Amino acid sequence: NAASKGTYEFYMLKEIDEQPGVMRHMSQHYLDENGEPKVDQKIIDAVSQADRLYIFAAGTSYHAGLVGKSIFEHYTGIPTEVGYASEAGYHFPMMSKHPFFIFLTQSGETADSRVVLKEANKRGIPSLTMTNVEGSTLSREANYTMLLGAGPEIAVASTKAYTAQVALQAVLAKALGEKLGVKEAKDWDLQHDLAIAAEGIQQIVDGKEKLEKLAKKYLVPSRNAFYIGRGIDHAVALEGALKLKEVSYIQTEGFAAAELKHGTISLIEKGTPVIALINDPVTADLTRGNIQEVVSRGASIITIVGKKFANDEDTIVLPDINYYMSALLTVVPTQLLAYYASKNKGLDVDKPRNLAKSVTVE
Ligand code: G6P
């Protein structure tokens, strides 16, 4: 059954490995044979009234929302804000005239997100919950629901729900952009991108041994680490850092690559692991410069780079993919580095100390 560990030592690796299937399911379930989105017309009609989208979430789901912001803005032209639910609940952001709220929540039970939803309902703001759990609280209390269909996620550290959330936001963005007549959305072959994502993730998980070696050599012996990137790579850097610290207890920060030099670079010492992500065509060369800055301070650099930006010295080269969907590939090596760092430290990968799978207290 879907919730059994099978031959896996930990659920986390099983769930990382399931991601190609999650991408295929997304395509089969949410796109028709012509690659057109199959989204409830009521949802599209409701969201298309919005002059601004507000995404609320916590933890890993929040990081998926940061990627969603780039996707929604590019393919729909609707300005999109992303907020921590825990902050927005008590310091409600200023609203546009016609806001629409999107809640990203694997479990559908996060108390912090529920506070925001209750306030939205009180104010009559329309809302959609994207969740992995049918019938969950946030799904019942929002006006609309879209299910992730990722299958049960058991490991506390979220992996396949993140990639499912990124892909599902893409589905909605395409449907919405087409309804609004946005050229980028009409021209977008999302079916192709999801197929590339499924194949690309498979390629990455097939090469997991290399990531285990890197984790053992650079991360296991280290007290701290950094992820850097720009654009969508910055959003993935934040998620990569969260994943690594939550399961391995290595203090890790995700940074906008160029921001590091404005203070935090003082923490770089000889051997500090810095993992740099490069998929953004606009800033790829600039990030190379930021890598030089940390290398010259002694950092041990690991690069995770899209093929079209790669050179011979890069550590992990990812298959080419549409920039807006690049998080689907970039995040996978970061999940595997976290998994192997934790496992090789002899930790309980699936149940890190102090953490719960879903947090129903504020
Ligand atoms: C908990 C989990 C995280 C998760 C967050 C949000 O803190 O440990 O892995 O990202 O809740 O959960 P949700 O179910 O709302 O996505």
The pLDDT value recorded for residue 42 is: 98
Count the helix, strand and coil residues of the chain and give each as a percent rounded to the nearest 5.
50, 15, 35
Enumerate residues 6+ apart whose C-beta is below 8 A from 29: 38, 149
Burial of 52 (0-12, 13-18, 19+ CB in 10 A): middle
The CA–CA distances, whole Å, from 260 to 81, 218, 264, 327 equal: 24, 20, 5, 21
Q: Is the pLDDT of residue 2 over 80?
A: no
Q: What is the Cα–Cα distance from 295 to 281, expressed in whole angstroms?
A: 22
Locate the ligand 1 atom nearest the alpha carbon of residue 161 and give its number.
Answer: 16
Q: Ligand 1 centre and the CA of 322: distance in Å?
A: 27
The pLDDT value recorded for residue 148 is: 98
pLDDT digits (tens, 9 = 90+) for 287-338: 999 999 999 999 999 999 999 999 999 999 999 999 999 999 999 999 999 9
pLDDT digits (tens, 9 = 90+) for 83-102: 999 999 999 999 999 999 99
Please tell me the residue having the least CA distance from ligand 1 atom 4: 59
Please tell me the residue having the least CA distance from ligand 1 atom 13: 105
The pLDDT value recorded for residue 18 is: 98
The pLDDT value recorded for residue 252 is: 98
Average pLDDT of the segment spanning 329-351: 98
Average pLDDT of the segment spanning 160-183: 98
pLDDT digits (tens, 9 = 90+) for 140-153: 999 999 999 999 99
Share of the chain above pLDDT 90, in %: 97
The CA–CA distances, whole Å, from 193 to 26, 144, 325 equal: 11, 26, 7
Pocket of ligand 1 (CB under 6 A): 58-61, 105-107, 110, 113, 156, 158, 355-359
Q: Ligand 1 centre and the CA of 58: distance in Å?
A: 6
Locate the ligand 1 atom nearest the alpha carbon of residue 113 and give its number.
Answer: 15
The pLDDT value recorded for residue 172 is: 98
Q: Tell me the pLDDT band of 1, cut-offs 50, 70 and 90.
A: low
Please tell me the residue having the least CA distance from ligand 1 atom 15: 105
Half-sphere exposure of 279 toward its Cβ, with a 13 Å CA cutoff? 26
pLDDT digits (tens, 9 = 90+) for 233-289: 999 999 999 999 999 999 999 999 999 999 999 999 999 999 999 999 999 999 999
- From 359, 360, 361, 362, the mutation candidate for ligand 1 (largest count of ligand atoms within 8 A of CB) is 359
Q: Ligand 1 centre and the CA of 61: distance in Å?
A: 7
The pLDDT value recorded for residue 4 is: 85
Average pLDDT, the chain: 97
Please tell me the residue having the least CA distance from ligand 1 atom 2: 357
What secondary structure letter does DSSP report for 31? B
The pLDDT value recorded for residue 23 is: 98
Catalytic residue, chosen from 261, 345, 351, 357, is 357
**How many residues in the chain?**
362
Q: Ligand 1 centre and the CA of 161: distance in Å?
A: 10
Locate the ligand 1 atom nearest the alpha carbon of residue 59 and give its number.
Answer: 10
The pLDDT value recorded for residue 3 is: 77
Share of the chain above pLDDT 70, in %: 99
Please tell me the residue having the least CA distance from ligand 1 atom 11: 358
ipTM beyond cut 0.85: yes
The pLDDT value recorded for residue 180 is: 98
Structure tokens at 252: 């890790």
Q: Is position 357 annotated as part of the catalytic site?
A: yes
- From 84, 107, 139, the mutation candidate for ligand 1 (largest count of ligand atoms within 8 A of CB) is 107
Q: Ligand 1 centre and the CA of 255: distance in Å?
A: 21
